[in-house]
Amino acid sequence: MSYATTYAKFHPMKVDLHCHTTCSDGSLTPQQLVQRASDNGVTHLSITDHDTVAAYAQISIEDCPVKLIPGIEFSTTWRKQGVHIVGLEIDLNSDAIAEGVQFQTEARLARAEQIAAKLTAKGLDCNLEDVQKLAGGDHVGRPHFAQHLVNVGAVKNQQQAFKKYLGAGKPGDVKQHWASMQQVIDWIRGAGGTAVLAHPLKYKMTRTKLLALVEDFKSCGGQAMEVVSGKQIPSDTRNMLNICEQFELLASCGSDFHHPGLQWSELGHYSVMPESKCDISNYWNS
């Protein structure tokens, strides 16, 4: 990515660089999502579905009411903890992205097969094909298993499904073997994109541990970090921006929208990011 000063800055509250559709774990189709974003005043949008770019094939660029910044959100692990890395302004047709999507899809499917087998061994009705139908394909996660258990009457709701069968230490708790942080960043940069550490506050790390994560992310070639993710208190935003500046990373922002009706993550509605020279929106084409 070229950070030329000739690139025009647009107002940060018109930007949403992190959201999801039905192609991963969101509840709106790609078409519904871009229309909702436009209705909310968003002018520049990145759809960052988990480990897939399928949403972009379902949108007509000519008729799209917002400017799309091609994106993806890859899952990885750091010191045995799950971490997400967003790729922005990627080449959707690059070999690097195709390789990353295939790797992650196979890893996700292998995990789903293990979860289904473990739940079946416990005497539960857990046909993987039925779970895949809920997911709309191969992008199967624990929430889909939870909903399946509700559908077959094994539990009353998804919360109970996680408490009894899918949460930490339960029968369906199968650890995911994602690509390494280095692999993920290489895929993103190999596709001409910008690697962004997603929602750092959601990892609930101590400051010391978070700084270690950011340092490793930067050493692997990471280029930016989400300073704002949905609604958060101003002091958290300031702290995240200070870390960005400390490690000379660009500062990104987004709602992490998944479903309508969640006040903390509505498209285009998130806490204000203080003006900063490292604001990633300084470097996009208007």
User: What value does the mean pLDDT take over residues 268-280?
Assistant: 72
pLDDT of 223 above 50: yes
Q: What is the pLDDT of residue 271?
A: 72
Task: Name the DSSP letter for residue 55.
Answer: G
For residue 283, name the pLDDT band (cuts at 50, 70, 90).
Answer: low
Q: Read off the pLDDT of each residue in 118-136 and give the average, rounded to a whole number.
A: 93
From 115, 142, 139, 140, select the one nearest 126 (Cα to Cα). Answer: 115
Strand partners, 254: 229
Average pLDDT over residues 219-238: 94
At 138, is the pLDDT very low, low, confident or very high (cuts 50, 70, 90)? low
User: How far is Cα 237 from Cα 197, in angstroms, rounded to an integer?
Assistant: 15
Give the global pTM. 0.87
1-15, 142-156, 214-228: lowest mean pLDDT where? 1-15
The amino acid sitting at 273 is: M
265 pLDDT band, cuts 50/70/90, is: confident
**Mean local confidence (pLDDT), 120-124:** 96
Among 261, 227, 221, 220, which Cα is nearest to 245's? Answer: 227
Q: Which amino acid appears at position 68 of this protein?
A: L
Tokens for 145?
């298993």
Domain residue ranges in the chain: 13-90+193-283, 109-192
Both tokens assigned to 95: 């070999």
Name the strand (E) or helix (H) holding 128. Answer: helix 128-135
Q: Is pLDDT at 13 greater than 80 in this prediction?
A: no
Answer whether 13-90+193-283 and 109-192 agree in fold.
no
Task: Give the residue among 202, 176, 200, 197 at the shortest CA–CA distance from 185.
Answer: 197
pLDDT(204) > 60: yes
The predicted structure's pLDDT at residue 8? 29
pLDDT at 241 over 80: yes
Structure letter (DSSP) for residue 218: H
* pLDDT, average across residues 116-123: 96
- Give the span between the Cα atoms of 161 and 163, in whole angstroms: 6
Mean pLDDT of 242-264: 91
Please write the tens of the pLDDT for every residue from 179-194: 999 999 999 999 999 9
Superfamily of domain 13-90+193-283: Metal-dependent hydrolases (3.20.20.140)
Average pLDDT over residues 45-55: 96
pLDDT average, residue stretch 251-266: 87
- Alpha carbons 21 and 259: distance in angstroms, whole number: 9
Query: For the structural domain made of 109-192, what CATH number should be given?
Result: 1.10.150.650
Is 105:99 a contact under the CB 8 Å cutoff? no
> How do residues 69-88 score in pLDDT, each as one tens digit?
999 999 999 998 999 999 99
pLDDT of the residue at 276: 66
Mean local confidence (pLDDT), 118-145:
90
Looking at residue 194, what is its pLDDT? Answer: 97
